[in-house]
Amino acid sequence: MKVRDFLDKLDDKQKRTVMRCFETCSIPDLDREVDIQVDDEMMKFLKAISNPLRFRILKLLKDNWMCVCLISKILEQDQTLISHHLRTLKALNIIEERKEGKMHFYRTRSEVIEKYLSKVKTDLV
């Protein structure tokens, strides 16, 4: 849909306001296509990294294998809470898991994170 199509759906007062803004602010081309579609996986990624604790976990796991107990100790959080957040990150494939006996170790998948960030950059910049 084009900007002009949205403009046509406004009432007269709203149209006048937008057109006044168009004249003074140089709104982009009215015939430009508007893309407001957002990939569902992208939204899940952004939601995941917007959580401060998950972001800290990702920073800890950057280029490091760590177990839940160590992550929990460093971040001063309960292991069950850390495990919950790790499951969320693992579901998005942005961390990988390695098992050694009963121990589980995690680290970031930099290439997957870079793919998501590249998509964000393409969509927004």
How remote is the C-alpha of 62 from its chain's centroid?
Answer: 17
Q: What is the mean pLDDT of residues 86-97?
A: 96
Within 10 Å of residue 3's Cβ, how many Cβ atoms? Answer: 17
**Does 34 or 60 have the greater pLDDT score?**
60
Instruction: Print the domain residue range for 29.
Output: 1-36
Closest alpha carbon to 108 in 73, 68, 66, 63: 63
| Shared-domain flag, residues 113 and 89 | yes
Total number of domains constituting the chain: 2
| Shared-domain flag, residues 84 and 52 | yes
Distance separating alpha carbons of residues 38 and 109, to the nearest angstrom:
23
**Does 117 or 36 have the greater pLDDT score?**
117
Local confidence band at 27 (pLDDT 50, 70, 90 cut-offs): low
| Shared-domain flag, residues 85 and 113 | yes
| Shared-domain flag, residues 58 and 20 | no
| Shared-domain flag, residues 62 and 94 | yes
| Shared-domain flag, residues 106 and 77 | yes
Q: Would you say residue 92 has pLDDT above 70?
A: yes
Closest alpha carbon to 90 in 103, 73, 111, 108: 108
